[in-house]
Chain A
Amino acid sequence: EAGVTQFPSHSVIEKGQTVTLRCDPISGHDNLYWYRRVMGKEIKFLLHFVKESKQDESGMPNNRFLAERTGGTYSTLKVQPAELEDSGVYFCASSQVPNGYTFGSGTRLTVV
C-alpha cells in the first residue's frame, strides 16, 4: 500500500510569490489533514477534509492560504502571496477512521 505522498519535498520561493503544495492520501482514506511546523514551534493543525468537504479549517492562519480537495482524492494547499513567516514544514496526513493517522514526509517551504 502506497503511503501519503507529498510534493514537492522542498520549495524555495521569494516573498510575494505563490506556491502550491500537493498531497496524495492513501487510497480510500476519506479523512485528509494538513499540519504545519514552523521553526522552533510544535506541529499545528491547519485543516481537515472529509472527502471533498472542509470539516474543520480553524487552524488556517489567514486568507492567503487556500486548500482544496478535488473529488475527494488529492489535496492542494496554495499560499498566495507567500510571506516570510509562512516558512516551515507542511505535513499532510490521512486516515480512514479517526485516530488512525498516517503522515506524509512533508514539504519544506522556505520563503526568502
Chain B
Amino acid sequence: QKEVEQNSGPLSVPEGAIASLNCTYSDRGSQSFFWYRQYSGKSPELIMSIYSNGDKEDGRFTAQLNKASQYVSLLIRDSQPSDSATYLCAVLKAAGNKLTFGGGTRVLVKP
C-alpha cells in the first residue's frame, strides 16, 4: 500500500464545473497536508495547506481534511482551462520535514 494514494485520472470536467480531487494517506501520525499544482515541465506550486479537521477555503479552492478517515480532498470551483494540470497531494509526518507525495491526479478542464 502506498503511503499517499491518489487517483491518477485524468479527471475531465467542463469549464465552470466543480473538480473534486481525493487523497488518502496511511500514517495516522501525519500532521500537515498540502496540495500542489504542477503544470507539465514545471515545478510543483503550493496552492493549499491544511492542518486541522474541517474545511479551508482560499478563492476558488477548498481543502477538506478528515483525520479519522485519513482523507484529504481538494475542490476547485468554477474550473477554468488554466486549472488543467496535475494536482499533487503531499503529507508531512509529525517527525521530520520530508514530504511524502501521492502520484498526482491529472485534471483536464474542457472549454
Output the least CB separation between B109 and chain A (Å): 23
* Contact of A45 with B98 in the complex, beta carbons under 8 Å: yes
Which B residues are CB-close (under 8 A) to A99?
32, 34, 49, 92
- How many of A's residues come within 8 Å of B, CB to CB? 24
A27 in the interface (beta carbon within 8 A): no
Which A residues are CB-close (under 8 A) to B92?
98-99
0 or 1 for each of B75-111: is its CB under 8 Å from A? (1 = yes): 0000000000000100010001111111110000000
Which A residues are CB-close (under 8 A) to B46?
101-102
List the 9 closest A-B pairs by CB distance, nearest first: A103-B43, A45-B98, A43-B101, A42-B103, A105-B43, A42-B101, A98-B97, A103-B44, A99-B32
B2 in the interface (beta carbon within 8 A): yes
Output the least CB separation between B15 and chain A (Å): 28
A-B pairs under 8 A by CB, number: 51
Please provide the chain A residues from 87 to 103 with a CB less than 8 Å away from any CB of chain B in the complex: 91, 95, 98-99, 101-103
Binding site for A on B (CB under 8 A): 2, 4, 32, 34, 36, 42-46, 49, 88, 92, 96-104
A59 in the interface (beta carbon within 8 A): yes
Q: Which of B4, B43, B101 contacts A106 (CB 8 A)?
A: B43
A55 in the interface (beta carbon within 8 A): yes
* Contact of B43 with A45 in the complex, beta carbons under 8 Å: no
Expressed in whole angstroms, the Cα–Cα distance for A42 and B46 within the complex equals: 16
* Contact of A42 with B97 in the complex, beta carbons under 8 Å: no
14 A–B pairs (Cβ distance < 8 Å), ordered by A: A33-B99, A42-B2, A45-B98, A48-B98, A55-B97, A91-B43, A98-B97, A99-B92, A101-B46, A101-B99, A103-B44, A104-B43, A105-B43, A106-B43
A64 in the interface (beta carbon within 8 A): no
